[in-house]
Structures are given as structure tokens and as C-alpha cells.
Amino acid sequence: MSGDRETITLAEARELALAALTRHGCDKANAEAVASVMLAAEADRAESHGLFRLPGYVASLKSGKVDGRAKPAVSRPAPGIVRVDGKLGFAPLAIEMGRAPLVEAARSQGVAALALVRIHHFAALWPEVEALAAHGLAALACTCATPMVAPAGGTKPFFGTNPLAFAFPRHDAPPVVFDQASAAMARGDVTIHAREGKPVPPGTGVGPDGQPTTDPAEVLKGAQLPFGGYKGSNIALMIELLAGALIGEVFSPESGRSGPADGGPPVGGELIIALDPERFGAGTWGERVESFLAEMLEQPGVRLPGARRHLNRAETGETGVYVPRALLAEIRDLAGVG
């Protein structure tokens, strides 16, 4: 692609990511897990969670904050609970190791939860819930972060962007999946707007003076705002309690007070809840879901959440990904590639 972007294949992007991660301290298992989630985002053209994140991953490795060779430990404190201690590594490998026991527990109990602790989560949440939907399970996932978002009525960072992801399986069709921040805009998108010199929509955040602004650089120095005022703020609060207090992990303000400010992922936890529709006695739930969704889609302009990502995924496999030249140069440098 001409201009300020270059086209590379997903395979080339993966090799660059693996090279950069292993060069700066990741072992093979952790590098492959991290690269997989970044490339899943690139394939879906969710740029703010793709290769854009690689310099942050590397910064965390170089700072010593993250153990790139961590070996997560899985335990079962209760029949319906799986707990994975990430050993201060990146989240993707811990999630992979917890998935199989979570699926088994959900099928056995009907409902099960995966508590991920002492992890550094820096990716989108939809890969974990979509993977569970592929096993025929409905799923919810949430995680905290460092303070970036002011609570409703406030002007100072307190909550993380505290995303919530949801997936529901379908028969012979892609699952319904959404992944959304409780902030009005994802942090990565604000950062990309600042990098490209584009204003953000009104209501995205406030500057250091507490006044509303559409300048993304000022929002990054000030505070983001929750979507829908108190509604988004309430969801952010719920996630702090679920992914913090419930599983014995840090709240966003506590995370922000620990570790170097290297631009990489904070330490914290994630909660994933899986539900097996087959165990709820609903019988023809699959047929009812299809009928319901078909009726919704009869309205012009309506689409299912996640549908655009699936279209992007199919197209990207043929066209490759369009990476900003400056970012690609930085990644090649991190990978030790000329």
C-alpha cells in the first residue's frame, strides 16, 4: 500500500512479532501465545490491539516488570472454579493453560469460572470468549487496568478502561461476540488518534484541567470518561469488584501505584465465566437464538456485533495487513531485522 502504510502478510507479521518477543526475553511458549493474540487483532483489523501493542510488550520485558519465561500454574480450588497463577508473565499463555480445565468444568457443572491472577493483560478480550464459544459455551470476560478513566462526576483517572467481553455460540454460524471498554473510547484508539493528529469525539475525555476536550493528547494527559456517564461508570466499578476483589487481585488504582510506567501492561487479574447452554434445560436454544437474531436483522442498518470483524478476517487472509511505516520500522528494529 502506498503512502504512510506498508502491506505485509499475516505470516510476515507473525515472524516479526516472534523475533521481537524472543529477542527481548520471551521463551517460545510465551512468544507464540502473545503473537497469536496480536495477530488475531490484526486479522480482524482491530489495529489498536494488534502490532501497535508490540512495542509495549517489549518495553515491559526490557524493564523487567514482566517475566517472559513465566510458567503459569493451574489449580482447582472448587469444582466450578479454575485458578491460574500467571507468575507475573503475559496473560495469553495463562489463558491458554486455563481454557481446557474451564471448558471441562463448565460442561460438568453448567457454569464455571476461570480466575487469572498475577498476569499482565495487554490484549483484546474477544479472543478468549470467542475460543470458548467455539466449544459451544457462552462466556463473559473482564479485566481491570491502570487508572485512565474518571468515575462519573469526577475528572481524575481512577478506573481502568475495564473492558467487558461476551460471546454466545450459534449452530453453523459465527458466534455473537462483543468486546467493549467501559470508557467512551478504548485507550489504544485514543493513542492512535493522538499519533495521527485526529480529534476524538466529544465526551471521550477531559484535559489535565478537568475541562472537556477533543484533543487526544490532552485526554491522555488528563482522564478518559466512561460511556453513558454513570452507566459506564457502574460497569467499570462492577469489573473492579469482579476482576479485583472477587479473585484477590489489585484494583486499578493499586495497579497504577506499582511497577514502572513503561507503557506496557499492568499487573492484575482477569475473570472469565463460561456457561454451557446444554446444561440449562433449554432444549431448542439454538433454534430460538437464530429466530431471534433473524428478526433483529430484518431492520435495515442493523448488524450483529462481531460481524464486521469476521468479514475483515476473511479479507485480511487474502490481502495482508496495512501497517503504518513508522510502526513497522520500529518493530523491525525491535526484531533485529534490517
- Give 260: exposed, middle or buried? Use CB within 10 Å, 0-12, 13-18, 19+: exposed
Separation CA 182–CA 169 (nearest Å): 23
The answer to whether the CB of 84 falls within 8 A of the CB of 286 is: no
Answer for the pair 190, 156: CB distance below 8 angstroms, yes or no. no
189 has catalytic annotation: yes
* Closest alpha carbon to 70 in 31, 36, 108, 124: 31
150: DSSP letter = P
- Name the DSSP class of 321: E
Q: Pick the catalytic residue from 27, 36, 48, 135.
A: 48
Q: Is residue 4 annotated as part of the catalytic site, yes or no?
A: no
Beta-bridge partner residues of 140: 166, 273
C-alpha of 60 from chain center: 17
- Alpha-carbon distance of 169 to 177, in angstroms, equals 9
* Active-site choice (44, 67, 85, 189): 189
The Cα 283–Cα 300 span in angstroms is 31
Neighbours of 168 (CB within 10 A): 18
What's the number of CA atoms in the CB half-sphere (13 Å) around residue 200?
29
Check if 182 is active-site. no
Question: Which strands, in side-by-side order, build the sheet including 73-78?
Answer: 73-78, 81-90, 111-120, 267-275, 138-143, 164-168, 176-180
- Out of 24, 49, 121, 193, pick the active-site residue: 49
Residues designated as active site: 48-49, 189
